A and B are shown apart, each in its own frame.
Chain A
C-alpha cells in the first residue's frame, strides 16, 4: 500500500512541472507560436523562486519572483520575435542559452557558489491538507496532503480548457493559430493575441520553475530544468494542444520520472534510470508518429 502511495506521489511530483509548462505551451501552440524558450523560462523561474524565497523570506513571494522572471524572458521574446520579426526558432534558442548563462552567472555572483545553492533560509512551498477530504481514511491519503502547487496545476488545467474552448479570447487565440491574416482582417491584431499567449505561457513556466526549486526540494542547481521544457513542448505537440490530453501525458511522464527515483535503490545503475524520462519521450514520439501514419 505504501508503495502505491509512494508511486502516486512520485508520479504527481514528476508530472507537475511538465503539466504546468505544457499548459502554458498550449496557449502559445494554439496561437501559432513555436515556443522553444519554455526550457529557459522554467530555468529562470526556478532561479528567481529561490532568489525571492531566500531574500524575502517567503515562499509566496518566491513564486511571484519566479513568475516575474519568466515574464521578463517572455518580454524579451516578444520584443525580438513579435516586434522585430526575428526568427522564432533562433530567438528561442538564443533565449535558452541566455537563461543558462544568466542563471549560472547569478548563482556565482549572488550566492557565491558553483553547481548548486541550498540553504535553510530558503522557504519551500508547503503541502496542503484539503479540509474535509483529509479525514477520509483511504481517499484522504490519496487526495490530500500534496504540495500547494500540485493543486494549483490541476486548477490551471481546468481553467485553461475553459478559456481556450469557451471564451472569446480562446476563439481568437485559436484563430490566430489557424489563420492569423484572417484574424487581423477581422479587426483583432494577431500579434496582441500572441503576446498574451506568451504572457500566459511565461506565468505557467514560472510556476513550473518555482515548483522545481521550491516544491519537493529546496535548492537551485545549474541547468536544473534538465530538458523538461523540451519534454513539455513534445507533450504539447503530441496531443495537438488539448489540455486534457496534456494532463494525461504529463501524468505518464511523471510516472516515468517517478520511476527513476523509485529505481534508484535497485540494482540498475543510476545512469540508466536517469535516462528513463528521455527514452519515454522518444517512445511516445514513436507511438504518435506511428498513429499519424496509420491514419494516412
Chain B
C-alpha cells in the first residue's frame, strides 16, 4: 500500500515535470501555467466546488472500471453505459410526473438500470456465446453513442432547439446545488462508500477479487465464478449508468449531444493509474477533475490550450504505471544488496 502511494506521488510529480518541459518548449511559463491551473481548480471558491462536482462522473466511471478490472471482466464499456444511464434518467424525467421525493430516486434507478442493461447485454453475449466482453463492450460504446444521437435527433428532439437535444426533464428531477456543490456529489460519495464496503469487507468483494486474480483458484475453491461474472458486469454497468444519470439531473437537465464524451474514458484511465483500488480511484478522480477544471482557467490566463490537460493526464498514467514497476525493481535491488552484505558478514 505504501509503495502504491509512493509511486503515485512520484509519478504525478514526474509527469508534472515533463509537462513543465513541454510548456516551456512551447514558449509559455510553466510556473504561471501551473499556478493558474491550481488557482482555478482548488484555490478559489467557485473553482473548488466546480472541481468537486465535475469529479462525480469521473469517480463513478473510475469505480466502475476499477471494480471490473479487479474482478476479472474487461469492461471497457463505461462510455456506452454512461450514455444509456443518461437516457434512462432522461426518459423517466421527461415522461413521469411525480414529486421530487419519488422522481429523484426513480430517475436514479432508471440510470442504474440503463447502465446495467447495456453491460448486461455484453455479459449475456459472453455467457451465451463466449463472445469476449473486451471487444463487445467497445463496440457497444459506438452503438450506444449513435443510438443516443438518433434518439435526441428524432423521437425526443426538442423542437425549439438549434442542435440535437431533448427537452428539459421535469424540474422535480433536478438536483440542486448546496453551497456551490451539486447534490449529485452526495450520491457519488454514497456509491463510493458502498463500493468500498463491498470490496474490502464483503464476501462478494473477496470472491470477486480472488476471481480477478486467479479465476481457476476461485472456481476450485467453490466460488460461483459465472454468477459473479454477471453480477460484476451488472454492478459496474450500473455505476457508469449512475454517472450518466447524475450528469443529466445535476447538470444541463437534458440530454445534449456530446454529453459525457470523455468522462468515461477518463474513468478507465483513473482505474488504471489507481491500480483498481477504491480509495485510489477516489483520489485520482479528484486530481483529474482538478486538472480538467483548472484547464479552462489556465487557458484564459496563459493561452496554453486546455487540451494540454489531455496530454498531461495520459503522461501521468504512463509515468505512474511505469514508475510502479521501476520502483519494485529498485526495491528489489536494494533488498539484494542488503542481503549480500548480510551473508558476507
Contact = CB atoms under 8 A, between A and B. Distances in A.
Contacts of A100: 265, 310, 314
B142 A102 contact: no
B343 interface: no
A234 B135 contact: yes
Contact of A94 (B130, B142, B312, B318): B318
Interface in A202-244: 226-227, 230, 233-234, 237
Nearest to A100: B310
Given A76-B318, A285-B132, A292-B130, A94 B269 contact: yes
13 contacts: A86-B321, A86-B325, A87-B321, A90-B321, A93-B268, A94-B321, A100-B314, A102-B314, A230-B135, A269-B150, A275-B142, A286-B125, A289-B131
Contacts of B141: 227
Contacts of A104: 307, 310
A101 to B, nearest CB: 3
A64 B125 CA distance: 41
A275 B147 contact: yes
Given A80-B321, A102-B314, A269 B154 contact: yes
A13 to B, nearest CB: 19
Nearest to B129: A289
Contacts of B228: none
B317 A94 contact: yes
A271 B147 contact: yes
B146 A271 contact: yes
B39 interface: no
Contacts of B322: 79-80, 84, 86
Residue among A76, A80, A97, A237 with the highest chain B CB neighbour number at 10 A: A97
A285 B136 contact: yes
Nearest to A89: B74
Contacts of B149: 271
If over half of B's interface residues share one DSSP class (helix, strand or loop), that class is named, otherwise mixed; here it is helix
Counting chain B residues whose Cβ lies within 8 A of the other chain, the interface size class is 35 or more
Interface string B62-89: 0000000000000000000000000000
A191 interface: no
A42 B343 CA distance: 53
B20 to A, nearest CB: 15
B139 interface: yes
B307 A279 contact: no
B287 interface: no
B23 to A, nearest CB: 11
B129 A102 contact: no
B38 to A, nearest CB: 20
A108 B304 CA distance: 10
Interface string B129-166: 11110011011111100110110011000000000000
Contact of A97 (B135, B147, B154, B269): B269
A204 to B, nearest CB: 20
A271 B136 CA distance: 19
A259 to B, nearest CB: 15
B143 A278 contact: yes
A272 B139 contact: no
Nearest to B320: A94
Given A94-B318, A97-B268, A278-B139, 19 more contacts: A93-B268, A93-B269, A98-B314, A98-B315, A101-B314, A104-B307, A105-B305, A108-B307, A109-B26, A109-B308, A230-B138, A230-B139, A234-B135, A271-B153, A281-B135, A282-B139, A285-B132, A286-B129, A293-B129
